[in-house]
Structures are given as structure tokens and as C-alpha cells.
Amino acid sequence: MQVNIRKVGFFYFGFVLLALLAVGQIINLQFIHRPGRDYTQKTTRNDNLPCTRGSILADDGRYLAFSIPEYRMGMDCVQPDSAVFARGIDSLAICLANFYKDKKAAQYKKEIVERRKEGLKGGRRYMFLNRRLLTYQEMKEVSSFPILREGRGRGGRDEVKVDHRTYPYGRLGFRTLGYIKDQSEIPTIGIEGSCDSILRGTDGLQPMRLTEGRNWIVDTDKETVQPVDGLDVQLTLDIDMQDIAQNALVSVLSKTSEVHAGTVVVMEVATGEIKAMVNLEKDGKGGFDETYNYAIGRKGEPGSVFKCATLTTLLEDKKVTLDTEIPAVVTWNYGGGKPFVDHYLDRYSKISVKRGFEISSNNVFRILAARNYDKNPKEFLDKLTNERRITHDFPFELKGMAGANLKDPSVTTGRSAWNPKDLPQIAMGYTVEITPLHTLNFYNAIANEGVMMRPHLVRNYQKEGHVVRSFEPETLGTVCSRETAHEVWKAMRGVVESEGGTGYRVFKDCPVAVAGKTGTARIVFPNTGKYEDRAGHKMHQATFVGFFPYEAPKYSMIVVVYSEPTFGNFYGATWSGPVFRQVAEQIYASAIDWQAPLARKGSLPETENYKQLQAGEDLQRGLVPDVTGMGLREALNLLEAAGYTVSFEGHGNVAAQTPAAGDSAHSKTVTLKLKEHYGNETD
């Protein structure tokens, strides 16, 4: 028998190759391959456990921002077994079509069936049934639909929780609070932005494993990482003062088309707490909205309100007293070039320092600065910076604080080079750039008998109602002696009390004693660096800043109004003074611990207290309470405590409710329609 050597060799080589492959596989399984590596990737996963973002609270604990859980309903289309799927798909499609009302039942069925087929072939198996976010009550309703009611394991139901950020007072304090829609956003403005790391919290992880029946269940062999909710941040803002200040500013801004924007800041004298911060700008729709924080971001030449720093320096250095008289020079030549002219001095031959302050004479303060600091202007500038601290860049909780600028006499070249005329110009509020909050902080120090406090917005961080970190009032230093501060008080009181003072007409017969200073400054056109455009238009900022009540200062306040380009003049007393008076009166009226309180004028607390009392009476009579006008959180607390199920749509305050207020409480479900409240609205 003849042996085919070639065939034998071929089979021999094949057996050797198989043997080598077998040995290689043994080595791989024994020393290289880790079964858990590939296996666990397919049979285990970590589900995200979302945390809840902390709330932002007002000074009295009311909610300025909080997160409400909403849900997006999804489905693992492969998870249900064939019997469950076949039995329920038609009914599920009908329920989804009736609930969402955006597609026909046939379309829902087609999409789910196609995704199931795709998943069974190893492709995508998960889908959102609808992108619409659901309230908790809506999520429970959808969860009861066929197939989905079988749960995550048998029905493939998967509801994704999304925390929706709610602002119960609408746009009130928008630039101060900041804004986000949900937890996934990274805020950049306001407290939402600056305190994001405090508010955000940390998500947790839930280990899951796949069973032999292809169901995902909690993996109890591994540790669950629980989510850590964000801390609540309590602010110093007073909701009622914020509302008063916004309405007062809108009432003035709405009177003319020449106004572009305005800001109001109210500060507590003794602590530096910001009680209100309003920033309004034309919205292009005939109203105003908070789109930019003028209080901290807009720096410029403050105008005559800066004379208070000059006066304080002169008094502190014993250069003058309030009774010191100087010649009333209408046209004053200094430093060469165009002379300084002040027609307010036409009626005087001599004028006292106090009277010069009351009528806001530019030449009085130009001359006083030049007479006393001409030989060493740096001495004057150093005192403004280091002793008056009016340009001090203090740390603040909001991002975007603009730095103050003050010219340096030692700079002799370039655009910032010192000019001899800069000294008298700085004395009356030009050739210096500061923000409204810088100005207010100095005046607050004067009201606080010379002690400067750091302006602040954040009072504490809280966890479940317990304070975990508090921020106490912080002193920045002393700007002058107590005696000097009281002398400046007299001068500021004269501005509004003495006939002929720039604030006299606005504050005549004002029920709360105010001390303050007017200021008007022209604004440079940014594209040219000049005070007028080619057509001769000018822009102004009109300011009133001061404190009240005069006898024992409790609050300081600044109002700045910015004009559109105009041919006319713009004055602090005319535009900012009335806002200041209206806010001061209403704050004074609401302070029951002050002497001779006035009758309230429909401010926010009165309305809310009435609503709460009336709602309580309705509940006792078995009637649906009136919650219109309330913030969402207040309405929810009231209705849910009474046993109602609440659904809502929109954002802001309650604008309408179903059933209507006063109806017999046959139904235990109340639907609320929310609407954001804008300051220009009259309702």
C-alpha cells in the first residue's frame, strides 16, 4: 500500500496548528484573559442618582429660587417579554396619543415597535416616549399606562428625573439671583453663578446588574453612592424692599422715552447688607427688564455725588468748616485753556462751604481743592484712595464687579497722563471712574459715623434649615472721624431741607427725614471717547444717593438713571430723586418699629398677609382658597396642606386657578397657571 506523503504531511501540520491554538487559548485563559472585564461591561452598569440643587432664600426665609422635580418618560423597548408587549402595545399607543396629544396612536405604535426590532438585533433599544417634561402627578399617570405599569424590570419603564428651577417672583431681582432652567446648566451670572459650587450638590451612583432574564436590578453586592443635595443659600435681600424699589424705578422710567436704564441699591447702614438691588433696562417692547447689573458693572464719572468725598477730606484735614466762606467766582481760570464757569454762583458774592454743597456748586469745590492741595495733588488723591476709601475695590459675592479708576499725578505720559486741571475736576466728580455700589458704600460709611462696612448679599449657607456657615458683617476700615461724619450729615440734610438746595423741591414735606446728594454727569460715547456725538447728542447719568431716617440712619440708598442720547439736560434731582423718595417713604411706612409710621400703600407684605388670612377662612368654609398672586411655593404649601392635588404650568406667580377661588371644594385637584411678573406691567 502506497502512502501519500504529501497528504500525511498536510494532516500532520493541521494537527500541530490545532495543538498550538489550544495551548495558546489555555495560556490566555490561565494567565492573560480576565473574564470579569468583558463580562461585567455587558452585565453591569452604574445608574446616576441625581441630587437636588439648593434653594436661594430671602432674608426672611421666603424662597427666591428652588428646584421642582420634573420627569421625562422613557422606555427600554426590548425589556418587556413578548406576551406583555403584544398584549399591551395597542392600548399603550392609544394612551400616549390621548395624553401627549402630539401624535396619533398608530405613529406611537410604529415608533415603539421599530425601536424594539432594532434593539432585538443588537441596536438601539431605548427611547423617550415624548420630550415633554412631566410633573410628578403626570409622571404617575403615565406610569399607569399598559406595559409601563409593569415597572422597570417587566415593562421597561424608565422615568428620568430633571430638576426644573423655579423663580416664584418671576423676573424680580433677575440679575442678582441669576437664572438656570435645570441642573445640567452651568450658570454664569448672579448668585446662581457665583454660588454654583455651593448650590449644585453631588450626584450619586446606583450599581445595577443584569439578571439571566435580562432584567436590570440593583446590585446589592456593591455599595450605592448616595447623592448629596446642594446647600441652600440665604441672602440679605428683602423681597418687599426689592418689589418697592423696582416699582418705584419703573414708575419714573416709564414717564419718558429719553431714559435708557436705571439701578437702585438699598443697603443696611450698620451691617452693609444689601436689602434690594434693582437693575432695569429697556426691553425693546415698551417695558423694562433686568438684563445687566448696572450697580456693579457700570463704572463711570459719578459727577457731583463725589463732592461728598471732597468735603469729607477738607473737613477731616481741618482745611475748612461748613461755615467757611470763599468768594463766589463765576468764571475761574485755572491750568490754562478754557476757564471753568459756574452760573449757580451768579447771585452770590461770597458763599459758605455748606451752601456750596447744597446748591452743588462746581466752582466752590474746584477752588477749595486747588487752594488746599495744588502744591501736592498726590496728597489729595492718596487721601481719597487710602482714607476715604471711595475707590476701594472690596470683594463682592457677584461676578462682574468693575474696578475703580483714579488718575495718578505721577503719570506724565500717555492717555492717563496727569493734567493740572485734573485736580479741580476730580474734586467735583470727573476724571474718576467708580460704580454705583462704590459710591453707595462710601455714603453708607458716612451714615455709619465713619465706619465702612463691606457690602454683602450672602448671609449664610443652610442644610435642611440648619445654618452650616454664616457670614457676619465685616468692617473695611474708617473713612473719617465721627465728628466729621456728623458735619457731613448736616451738609447732606441741607441739600433737601434748605430752600434752593438741589433736592429741596423733591423732598419738601417728605414724611421721612432724608439726607442726600444729587449728581449729574455726562457720559462718554464709547466709540469716540467724547461727551457729544456728531449731531450734538449727549448722554447723562442722574444720581441721588443718601440715607434715612436722618436722626438715626438705618438704610442708605443710591438711585442712578441713565439717559438715551438727547439734546436736553438730565438732572439727578429730577429723575433719581423721586425714585429715592418713593422707596424711602414706603420702607418707612412698613417699619412698625420706627416713630410715626405711615399707612401702607399696597406694598407686597400687606397683600400677601391678606391673601393668607382670606385663604384660611375659605378653607374653613369648605371653599377653594384664592392663591392668585402668590408665589408657587406659598401656593403649593397652602393647597397641599389642605389635601389638594396641585398641577401647574408656566413660571412665576399664580395668575389664574381652576377651580376658581370661592367655589365649593367638590374636587380635590387644583390647576394653577403661572406667569412671570415684569415691572412694567400694571396688574
* Average pLDDT of the chain to the nearest whole number: 87
Q: CB of 568 within 8 A of CB of 522?
A: no
The CATH classification of domain 604-675, taken from the options 3.60.10.10, 3.30.10.20, 3.90.198.10, 3.40.50.300: 3.30.10.20
pLDDT higher than 60, residue 190: yes
Between CA 634 and CA 626 the distance in angstroms is 12
Q: Reply yes or no on whether the pLDDT at 595 is more than 70.
A: no
pLDDT over 90 for what percent of the chain?
61
> How many Å apart are CA 614 and CA 191, to the nearest integer?
34
One-letter amino acid for residue 222 of the chain: K
Q: What is the mean pLDDT of residues 345-353?
A: 96
Q: Computed from CA positions of residues 523, 527, 529, 530, in that sequence, does the dihedral angle turn out positive or negative? A: negative
With bands split at pLDDT 50, 70 and 90, how would you rate the model's confidence at 103? very high
- pLDDT per residue as tens digits for the range 617-660: 565 567 788 888 776 766 776 776 677 777 776 655 788 888 88
Q: Please check the confidence at residue 204 and state whether its pLDDT lies above 80.
A: yes
Residue with cell 447689573: 293
- Averaged pLDDT for residues 2-19: 65
Report the range of poorest mean pLDDT among 46-50, 316-320, 336-340: 46-50
Residues above pLDDT 70, as percent of the chain: 84
Lowest mean pLDDT among 64-73, 456-465, 549-558, 579-588: 64-73
- Predicted local distance difference test score (pLDDT) of residue 83: 93
* Closest by Cα among 148, 153, 132, 150 to 93: 148
Give the position of cell 496728597: 379
pLDDT for the residue 608: 41
Q: Which residue has the cell 449731531?
A: 535
29-33, 138-142, 435-439, 675-679: least confidently modelled range: 675-679
Mean pLDDT of 329-340: 94
pLDDT computed for residue 33 by the predictor: 52
User: CATH 3.50.50.60: does it fit domain 47-234?
Assistant: no
Topology of the domain covering 239-402+428-590: Beta-lactamase (3.40.710)
Banded model confidence at residue 37, pLDDT cuts 50, 70, 90: very low
Sequence spans of domains, the chain: 5-33, 47-234, 239-402+428-590, 604-675
Residue 7: is its pLDDT beyond 50?
Answer: yes
| pLDDT attached to residue 679 | 33
The pLDDT of residue 208: 86
Q: Is the pLDDT of residue 58 over 70?
A: yes
Region 541-570 average pLDDT: 91
Residues 6+ apart with CB under 8 A from 198: 54, 230, 231, 233, 461
pLDDT at 593 over 90: no
Tell me the pLDDT band of 609, cut-offs 50, 70 and 90: very low
